[in-house]
């Protein structure tokens, strides 16, 4: 019997679709592979862009620029050279330049003045460096305590330079220090001891000018214009004291004390009796003075003449210049060698000095 309320046969009811199939979610391994492929593609793109960028640094696109002069200082590393070239627009990146130099096994390169083209091919830049500078540079080092004669001899050892031409320039009056007295032309003691880089084009006069300018610069930095207020002496006289300190002091801790002894003796109207001044006046070739040397009529004989010698006796360095401008406070009037290392002992009275002198003689120091 059928249900009268629903005139449909059970066969007419909706049937589930037997053709429907539910797909499973992608496996985790498949997702990781997809991510890897995306990253790989990104990496390859980045590498490609990086290679293209490096290639553009080595072989810049577009026309080469104008000429530019670049000075390579002595001792410059490949990275430093690259930085100088980058700053001048010769190469685009100093790090790529350094890498490329290593790749080509180029260098080391000479110091000097070079002419390059801006935005040039890096291989041509390296070729210019390997050919050498347009102007080569020599280095000259002037130690503290040298005389004008000794400095001239060192300048004379530079290629194409003459010691005699340097000395003539130094007494010609064409170069003057700010510390020289009016009318003075002697530059003794006014050439700053330092290392100087000299090009092929620099004359003896130009080298001298740089040494004097450097001396004035250092003296200005130390405050030598205030020497009359600081030590009661003119700037030039203070340089004379500094030159004596430079020659007499053997260890740093003695400089300011020796300067004080000199000022104390000047103030007391005493003979300075400084060996180094007399040795200078006798030509500078003596290690020790003889008793007969003390009778010399040289104006540098501070055993016979009171006051400072007429000029400095050597080129003082910064430390000696500082000591002469700022002597250590103290009552000392004498000093004498105390040990083999060159240290001095200081005394106030003549009796104390004599005792220290006998000790030095017993040690074989005098």
Please state the domain extents for the chain: 67-133, 138-222, 226-362
Average pLDDT over residues 237-266: 97
- The alpha carbon of 361 is separated from its chain's Cα centroid by a whole number of angstroms, namely 42
Tokens 């990086």 sit at which residue?
A: 50
2 — pLDDT class (breaks 50, 70, 90)? very low
Choose the weakest-confidence range: 2-11, 224-233, 310-319, 354-363.
2-11
Mean pLDDT score of the chain = 88
Cis peptide before 113 (omega within 30 of 0): no
Q: Which CATH superfamily is domain 67-133 in?
A: Endolytic murein transglycosylase (3.30.1490.480)
Q: What six digits make up the tokens of 337?
A: 């060698």
Which is nearest to 73 in space by CA: 101, 39, 110? 110
Average pLDDT over residues 175-202: 93
pTM value is 0.71
In sequence order, what are the residues at sequence separation of 6 or more whose Cβ sits closer than 8 angstroms to the Cβ of residue 325?
222, 223, 224, 227, 230, 231, 238, 242
Element holding 174 (H helix, E strand): none
DSSP single-letter state for residue 90: S
**Residues 261-300: tens digit of each pLDDT:** 999 999 999 999 999 999 999 998 777 788 888 999 999 9
250 — pLDDT class (breaks 50, 70, 90)? very high
Please tell me the predicted confidence (pLDDT) of residue 8: 47
pLDDT score of 7 more than 50? no
Please tell me the predicted confidence (pLDDT) of residue 42: 67
Q: What percent of the chain has pLDDT over 70?
A: 88
Backbone conformation region of residue 183, classed left if phi is above 0, alpha if psi is from -120 to 50, else beta: left
**Residues 68-122: tens digit of each pLDDT:** 999 888 889 999 999 999 999 999 999 999 999 999 999 899 888 899 999 999 9
249 — pLDDT class (breaks 50, 70, 90)? very high
pLDDT score of 10 more than 60? no
**Residues 36-82: tens digit of each pLDDT:** 776 777 676 666 666 787 888 889 987 888 999 998 888 899 999 99
């Amino acid at each position: 019997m059928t249900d009268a309320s629903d005139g449909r046969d059970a066969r007419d009811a909706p049937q589930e679709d037997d053709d429907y199939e539910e797909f499973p979610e992608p496996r985790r391994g498949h997702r990781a592979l997809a991510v890897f492929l995306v990253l790989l593609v990104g990496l390859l793109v980045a590498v490609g862009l990086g290679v293209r960028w490096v290639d553009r640094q080595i072989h810049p696109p577009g026309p080469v620029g104008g000429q530019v002069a670049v000075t390579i200082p002595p001792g410059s590393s490949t990275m430093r050279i690259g930085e100088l070239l980058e700053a001048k627009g010769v190469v685009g990146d100093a790090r790529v330049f350094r890498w490329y130099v290593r790749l080509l096994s180029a260098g080391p390169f000479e110091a000097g003045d070079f002419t390059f083209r801006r935005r040039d091919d890096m291989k041509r830049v390296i070729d210019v460096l390997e050919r050498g500078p347009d102007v080569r540079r020599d280095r000259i080092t002037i130690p503290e305590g040298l005389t004008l004669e000794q400095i001239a001899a060192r300048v004379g050892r530079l290629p194409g330079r003459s010691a005699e031409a340097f000395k003539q320039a130094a007494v010609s009056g064409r170069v003057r220090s700010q510390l020289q007295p009016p009318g003075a032309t002697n530059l003794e003691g006014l050439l700053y001891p330092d290392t100087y880089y000299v090009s092929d084009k620099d004359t003896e006069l130009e080298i001298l000018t740089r040494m004097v300018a450097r001396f004035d610069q250092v003296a200005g930095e130390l405050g030598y214009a205030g020497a009359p207020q600081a030590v009661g002496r003119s700037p030039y006289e203070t340089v004379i004291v500094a030159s004596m300190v430079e020659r007499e002091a053997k260890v740093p801790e003695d400089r300011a004390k020796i300067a004080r002894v000199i000022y104390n003796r000047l103030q007391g109207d005493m003979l300075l009796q400084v060996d180094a001044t007399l040795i200078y006046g006798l030509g500078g070739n003596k290690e020790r003075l003889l008793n007969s040397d003390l009778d010399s009529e040289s104006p540098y004989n501070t055993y016979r003449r009171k006051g400072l010698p007429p000029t400095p006796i050597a080129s003082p360095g910064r430390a000696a210049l500082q000591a002469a401008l700022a002597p250590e406070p103290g009552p000392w009037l004498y000093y004498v060698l105390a040990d083999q290392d060159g240290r001095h002992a200081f005394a106030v009275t003549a009796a104390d000095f004599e005792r220290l002198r006998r000790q030095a003689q017993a040690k074989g120091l005098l």
